[in-house]
Amino acid sequence: MTARTDVDDLLRELAPQVLGVLVRRFGDFDDAEDAVQEALLAAATQWPAEGLPGNPRGWLITVASRRLTDIWRADQARRHREDLAGARETATPPEPSHQDDSLALLFLCCHPVLMPGSAIPLTLRAVGGLTTAEIAGAFLVPEDTMAKRISRAKKRIKTSQIPFRMPSQGEWTERLHSVLHVLYLIFNEGYAASTGPQVARGELSNEAIRLTRTLHAGLRDDPEVAGLLALMLLTDARRPARTGPDGELVPLAEQDRASWDQDLIAEGSALLSAVLPRRAIGEYQLQAAIAAIHDEAATAEQTDWAQILALYSLLERMTGNPMVTLNRAIAIAMVDGPAAGLAALAGLDTRLAGHHRLDAVRAHLLEMDGEAEGAITHYLLAAGRTTSLAERNYLTTKAAHLGARLP
């Protein structure tokens, strides 16, 4: 993904609208998605050279529809559907707003029948308007591999006969949860990868924020959607400070807070203060609230750890997630001292057995407690187990610093 131009921005905004129209009109998500992708590629080469058409959206719909007819014509077995399409085209029902179409597409691409590994690239292409090559680049896999994955995801949607419409009341909670989870994963994939060979990945965070903004624009009243958007903004605000000049990880306590993006912090905090009083607390709002406390501390020492601890306790009760318990142990150490934090890790040995995060946190707390030898051991254990290169470098450097200070 390179720097985006105005044409790119316009195309990506129009992509889900155009796809929505085609799916509604012709009823074939799989082929319509291919047709729209080709129309977008055509526009990306023609528009910058020949100038924008008078009605860009209409242009894309026409080109994509024509392309869809070509796809069907090429496929003998589907010839009959061409007639069907012709018939349908004359009797197009009134179109819902673009916004509704974009949302319905998002719910379709993030359907729980798809594993996240399939839902993520499909969402980026069908709703985000990214090309297969861009998505493949961001995930560091060959383009052909990514194309296969997207094509399989679409087949799965087709065979599962998932309708193109917003979920019903009965399935709403599960379906929304699935959409939020996919968006959160896209954000995480790109986060803290803003330098070096991983630049393309960093773009994924921007894309996740853009998609979550679309979702929020359509579902203003949903507190968890607002919570997720706030979480992303409050976390992304720290992106400039999160990596050093050589791409190394800079821990929160050592980050240059002056380089945090205050506009993003203000926007995230405002979103959060608008929904928190509604008392429909969910896990994204809680995580966002924790991020906000970090962001609002002028120095690391001024961080309100007591409040963070209270929020993690709430989150732990709500989710039962051992990773939350792990983070809570850090908060306990900051409030009551490292020994208390280490004691809170006791129950995690079986639930997070072999997980590098447990070793990393234990090492950190042992270091706080002055236990250099133990800290080194656990830093190195964690370094051997992590699958993040930046994290491994961070952990081995920590161990080396401690080792150098040993008598």
Partner 1 sequence: MKYLIMMTQSSQDDLPPERAYTPDEVKASWAHMQQIYQELAESGELLATEKLAGPQAAKVVTSDGVNAPVITDGVYPEAKEFLAGFWMVDVDSEQRAIEIAARTSAAPGPGGKATAKPIEVRPIMDAPAPEW
Distances (CA, A) of 174 to 35, 131, 167, 209, 214: 30, 29, 9, 21, 19
Positions in 69-88 near partner 1 (CB under 8 A) = none
Distances (CA, A) of 150 to 33, 176, 268: 10, 21, 32
DSSP state of 276: G
Residue from the set 276, 394, 399, 402 that interacts with partner 1 by CB under 8 A: 394
Question: For the CA atoms of 144, 147, 153, 158, what is the dihedral angle to 10 degrees?
Answer: -120
Give yes or no for residue 249 binding partner 1 (CB under 8 A): yes
Piece in contact with partner 1 (CB under 8 A), picked from 22-30, 35-43, 243-251, 272-280: 243-251
Residue from the set 113, 133, 140, 280 that interacts with partner 1 by CB under 8 A: 140
DSSP 195-257: SGGGHHHHHHHHHHHHHHHHHHHH-TT-HHHHHHHHHHHHHHTTHHHHB-TTS-B--GGGS-G
For residue 190, the minimal CB distance to partner 1 (Å) is 7
The answer to whether 64 and 32 have CB atoms below 8 angstroms apart is: yes
Residue from the set 69, 151, 313, 396 that interacts with partner 1 by CB under 8 A: 151
Q: How far apart are CA 331 and CA 19, in angstroms?
A: 46
For residue 117, the minimal CB distance to partner 1 (Å) is 5
In terms of CB distance, is 65 or 285 closer to partner 1?
A: 285
Distances (CA, A) of 286 to 152, 220, 268, 303, 313: 35, 18, 13, 16, 10
Give yes or no for residue 139 binding partner 1 (CB under 8 A): yes
Give yes or no for residue 241 binding partner 1 (CB under 8 A): no
For residue 61, the minimal CB distance to partner 1 (Å) is 29
Give yes or no for residue 354 binding partner 1 (CB under 8 A): no
Piece in contact with partner 1 (CB under 8 A), picked from 89-97, 137-145, 272-280, 337-345: 137-145
Positions in 82-121 near partner 1 (CB under 8 A) = 115-117
In terms of CB distance, is 221 or 301 closer to partner 1?
A: 301
Q: Residues in the site for partner 1, rule: CB under 8 A?
A: 115-117, 139-142, 145-152, 188-193, 201, 235, 242-243, 249-252, 357, 386-392, 394
